[in-house]
Structure 1
Amino acid sequence: MRSDHETPALLLGLIGDGIGESLSPTLYENEAAQHGILCLYQRIDLGVLGLGPAQLPELLTAAERFGFAGLNITHPCKQAVIPHLHALSAEARAIGAVNTVVLRNGQRIGHNTDHYGFLQNLREHLGQDHTPRRVVQLGAGGAGVAVADAILRLGASQLSLFDPASERASLLAHALQARFPQAEVKAGGNLARAMHEADGLINATPIGMRKHPGTPLPPDLLEARHWFAEIIYFPLETELLHAARQKGCKTIDGLGMVVHQAARAFELFTDGIQADAQRMANHVAQVLTRHGVIMHTD
């Protein structure tokens, strides 16, 4: 039992594969310090540990026993974690993916803050009044389901989903079409034709991360009239994002999304303490600048 003069503490973590460059530790630890909270944030890298999603039950149990207040969940566990939780927020249930797990009173509660983070990032870059029209999205996995939901909530009239696992894209398209009957949601087809018709492109795949180098589509399908949103933020400039800048596209990197989703998750982990997203963004920019990362302001 702590005394009235003892600094409150918060133990958090991130479960995922290839997360060695994640900015989550500095994001949460610095913001917690601004509120007088001592935060320790641990990366739980499945690749480093030689583990996979099958070990999620053991990892969740260990986190509970060690007193973690919560966990962030990333690729490839955002959907795999759901069967091991006691409850889901309404948003996480509708989206079908979890990126935030609050551990409290013996309960594991799943939330999705990716949806909120992507919405805020897109609005900041394209404008609060911008309504996307025809959008191509690459990736229908854990992050992709939240991003697709967000873009349709913004009013997209057409969403074309592409994923290496074509059945996954078809299932997501069917579910979204039922929830958003005013839009046309389809899976697969001719990617070149879809890009010719689209005004925007979203990469919601892990392709572009250092562990998954390359581009998820041929860069020559991009045209200067397209806007391009990336959800990867390490590296901050993926190969496809660089190609899009060279083409003259309006580009949106993944940093804003991670900051806004983290700010919302911080509030959940602390049972209501509101994070300052702008302060978090400024802190991350300073960290990246110290490491020689060029910050673009498209």
Structure 2
Amino acid sequence: MSAGIPSALLMDGTAVARRIVEQAAADAAALKAQAGVTPCLATVLVGSDPASVTYVRMKQNRSAKAGIGSRHVELPETATTAELVATLTGLSQDPEVHGILLQHPVPPHIDERAAFEAIAPEKDVDGVTMHSFAAMAFGEPGFASATPGGILRLLDAYSVDLAGRHAVIVGRSPILGKPVGMLLLARDATVTYCHSKTADLAALTRRADILVAAVGRPRFLTGDAVKAGAVVIDAGYNPGNVGDVDFPSAAEKASLITPVPGGVGPMTIAVLLEQTVAAARWQVARG
């Protein structure tokens, strides 16, 4: 393979996500026809961070296209943890709201974990509560964290056999790194978590059959850190449409690789919408 020409097959998250959203739209229409209920996703934004505003608007637009209603709540940058918790508690108790998304990160003075835990588990369609994490870890019913869930769906779409494979996760955040490891473990992968204190990181990543980059640092993992033939999942998104993986060099080594944008990002939104419809269906059935 000549220099600069990727040898890896691109994992097209946009195309896979489109199929998931189409099915979610059909399910939403069926629920409306059968029960007269339109699934509703509530988004909560604290402050006016431009990237967060864009993400929320994108999720609202995708919801509308899928026949999913949306409700948006904006709180000022100065909002307290108590005010945010009260907002999320109110939405959790509102029968017309079926799913809740708190756009993160929140301002640093807010206790993000306390805010997440104010979301009722049956409405935690972003999979951010401790209840959802425990459900993922124990294989019990519940909602997967949206990005990790999207990663698993993308691996499935490309028929990646996970059983017995060595998965290395670079990053240990509670809404990405940790839960994606739990989901991979549940599929019989052998999972190694790496982080800022990991010694000789490259020695570990070079052993990975499945390498997940979730560290939040642009182009952090280069081709030198990738095992030949590995599946590389870039879950990072940094300014300038750059992921956590140096795409050109990694693509020379990988067998499958996600682009940024167009890889993991669309899958996150697709799983969020799918889980919102599932939440609505469950809440209607429960009465």
TM-score interval, smaller chain: 0.5 to 0.7
Q: Which residue of 1 aligns with 2:209?
A: 199
SS at match of 1:148: helix
1:95 to 133, 141, 146: 133
Q: For the Cα contact (< 8 Å) 1:132–1:200, is it kept in 2? A: no
Instruction: Work out the CA distance in 2 between the residues paired with 1:25 and 1:119.
Output: 24
Q: Which residue of 1 aligns with 2:245?
A: 240
Q: Which runs of 5+ in 2 are unaligned?
A: 1-35, 107-111, 137-141
Instruction: Work out the CA distance in 1 between the residues paired with 2:99 and 2:168.
Output: 33
Q: 1:98-138: per-residue Cα shift (whole Å, max 9, x none)?
A: 9xxxxxxxxxxx8434353332111113x154546222211
Instruction: Work out the CA distance in 1 between the residues paired with 2:272 and 2:39.
Output: 18
Summarize the Cα distance change of 1:152–1:256 in structure 2 as closer, same or farther, 3 Å threshold.
Answer: farther
Instruction: Work out the CA distance in 1 between the residues paired with 2:212 and 2:73.
Output: 27
Q: For the Cα contact (< 8 Å) 1:121–1:256, is it kept in 2? A: no
Summarize the Cα distance change of 1:96–1:243 in structure 2 as closer, same or farther, 3 Å threshold.
Answer: farther
1:119 to 152, 155, 174: 152
Is 2:250 aligned against 1:215? no
SS at match of 1:21: helix
Is 2:47 aligned against 1:19? no
Q: Structure 1 or 2: larger strand share?
A: 1
Q: Which residue of 1 aligns with 2:28?
A: none
Instruction: Work out the CA distance in 2 between the residues paired with 1:61 and 1:94.
Output: 17
Is 2:187 aligned against 1:162? no
Q: Which residue of 2 aligns with 1:40?
A: 70
Summarize the Cα distance change of 1:143–1:52 in structure 2 as closer, same or farther, 3 Å threshold.
Answer: farther
Is 2:261 aligned against 1:228? no
Is 2:124 aligned against 1:59? no
- Of structures 1 and 2, the one scoring higher in RCO (CA 8 A, sep 6+) is 2
Is 2:169 aligned against 1:137? yes
Q: Which residue of 2 aligns with 1:295?
A: none
Instruction: Work out the CA distance in 2 between the residues paired with 1:60 and 1:269.
Output: 16
**Aligned residues between the structures:** 220
Q: Which runs of 5+ in 1 are unaligned?
A: 1-5, 99-109, 167-187, 209-213, 274-298
Deviates more, 1:114-123 or 1:78-87: 78-87
Q: 1:258-281: per-residue Cα shift (whole Å, max 9, x none)?
A: 1442243222442359xxxxxxxx
Instruction: Work out the CA distance in 2 between the residues paired with 1:93 and 1:13.
Output: 20
Summarize the Cα distance change of 1:137–1:51 in structure 2 as closer, same or farther, 3 Å threshold.
Answer: farther
Instruction: Work out the CA distance in 2 between the residues paired with 1:74 and 1:118.
Output: 19
Instruction: Work out the CA distance in 1 between the residues paired with 2:273 and 2:149.
Output: 10
Q: Which residue of 2 aligns with 1:147?
A: 180
SS at match of 1:155: coil
Q: 1:166-189: per-residue Cα shift (whole Å, max 9, x none)?
A: 5xxxxxxxxxxxxxxxxxxxxx33
Give the TM-score normalised by the residue count of structure 1.
0.57
SS at match of 1:197: coil
Instruction: Work out the CA distance in 1 between the residues paired with 2:135 and 2:81.
Output: 14
Give the TM-score normalised by the residue count of structure 2.
0.58
SS at match of 2:188: coil
* 1:59 CA displacement: 3.4
Q: For the Cα contact (< 8 Å) 1:19–1:43, is it kept in 2? A: no
* 1:251 CA displacement: 0.7
Q: For the Cα contact (< 8 Å) 2:164–2:188, is it kept in 1? A: yes
What percent of counterpart residues are identical? 16
Instruction: Work out the CA distance in 2 between the residues paired with 1:260 and 1:86.
Output: 21
Q: For the Cα contact (< 8 Å) 1:10–1:68, is it kept in 2? A: yes
Q: Which residue of 2 aligns with 1:70?
A: 99
Q: For the Cα contact (< 8 Å) 2:44–2:103, is it kept in 1? A: yes
Q: For the Cα contact (< 8 Å) 2:208–2:230, is it kept in 1? A: yes
